A and B are shown apart, each in its own frame.
Chain A
Amino acid sequence: MPESGTTEAAPRSVGATIELEGLTKRYPGSDRPAVDDVSMEIGAGETVVLVGPSGCGKSTTLKMINRLIEPTGGRIRIGGEDVTDMDPVKLRRTIGYAIQASGLFPHMSVAQNIALVPKMLRWPAARVRDRVEEMLDLVGLDPGEFRDRYPRQLSGGQQQRVGVARALAADPPVLLMDEPFGAVDPITRDHLQDELIRLQRELHKTIVFVTHDFDEAIKIGDRIAVLREQSHIAQFDTPEAILTNPADDFVSGFVGAGAALKRLNLTRVGDVTITDYPTVGVDDPLDEISARLRSAGTDEVLVLDKRGRPYKWLRRGDIVRAQGSLARAGVLVHDTVTRDATLRDALEAVLTDNTGRVAVTGRRGAYEGVVDVETLMNSVHELLEADRLEARESQTGPEERRSAQTHAEQEGTRPSGDRGEAQA
């Protein structure tokens, strides 16, 4: 329910359904409506991405949901309740809103920015304070370090995290995101996308996300609405279905080349086997490390730093040459992936590092396991196999494709693969 943000009883509201019915926006003096008769049902807790070329009205459609742009026709229902004629200011306090380049107010500290909506909802001061800490923690920023900073003292990625924290602060059931990661560099964008997926798994909000980047849509969306001009829905389906069965030339044009490679974006590291790997602490004595290497029966161990993050790869030979000090021995870990990273990210990391595997990290970058190149090869093989099967049957719906994929994962999953879920 939209009101649940204000009630003390509900500690955490999950998503609410959103129904758009014949939503239309017509600007005066223009003969064609900017958004023409959009109808869409979005399930509670679902992430729906609106994707389309610029000027197609996707952003206008999004802004009509919280009535930043007043629709000229149609109805909006959130959680079953018609909000088309509700007081827009009250409505917006129950809907999280995150925009490009974070939209943080530069004259307010991080804490003040996050506290805005809870304060407008007249939460008691102590609760607001706790909530700010909780939100900073949630988006992976240390409250002690970042609470009192001003937006300009943050990197683009950090600003965007705070922007998401502010949008979620009053615990709204619905979160609208308008190209939120459009203004950050590709690497940061990747991390932010992973974070959002992790958050969403914890929070189960209903998210409507606007982007013009189809790869981003595939990565984030449970379902994707590909829009053409005037927000006409060209196809509204799961990423898998859109990739394998584009509805028409417009959609396949938008999907672009390399659909097979993009399939890798649909499977996450958490879905494949994450194996354990012998690790040692950076402060462990050398003879202990040697003993660990012998007992593990491998040529290499992963050295973790004091906070349990992957630090460097250490080979047997490195220890012999190290002569008592680890400071210069081994190869620094270049890249790690989280469970929410896609197989494509993982493959990238494995290909750039020469160890044949990539470390998987969890909260605050702590080590959780590794994925090796064989696992990745097997997964790719299975994905392609499933695609071929699909092509042969040509009429297969997304449900069956999903089950085929799940089946493939089960085959490839050894018991150790389930281990990390509780930690994550």
Chain B
Amino acid sequence: MSEFEPKIVAFVCNWCTYAGADLTGTSRIKYSSNVRIVRFPCTGRIDYMLLTKAFAGGADGIIVSGCHPNDCHYTSGNFYARRRWMVFRRLCDFMGIDTRRIIFSWVSAAEGAKWAQIVNSANEEFKKLGPYENYHKLSTQEIFE
């Protein structure tokens, strides 16, 4: 049996992390290929229900990444994202969603290497946690059946 590969979905903002991930490419820095990047205008746009949606659909881990504090292209979207994340994390704890499976980070447009490093370390972390079967079972059996 081949080694477990977590399914990772990355929610990133267009101006910093997406551009940073572009720079990772331009610099030809390799990272693990089991991550899928979804582009948002700003981390402030990210509706955290999307995270539960991603888990429900089969994701094993999630990365949310935007501009560094004070560097937001839209002034303050990343602050709202962070504030909502603090609240959402409490909700996750309450609902029994494992918050270790959500990695929140800041990656600027100049940090191509940092993006690769975040993806790789997230991959290692999610590998250790194994497939998120508890949640997947919930979503497929009890809700949809």
A and B co-occur in one complex: no
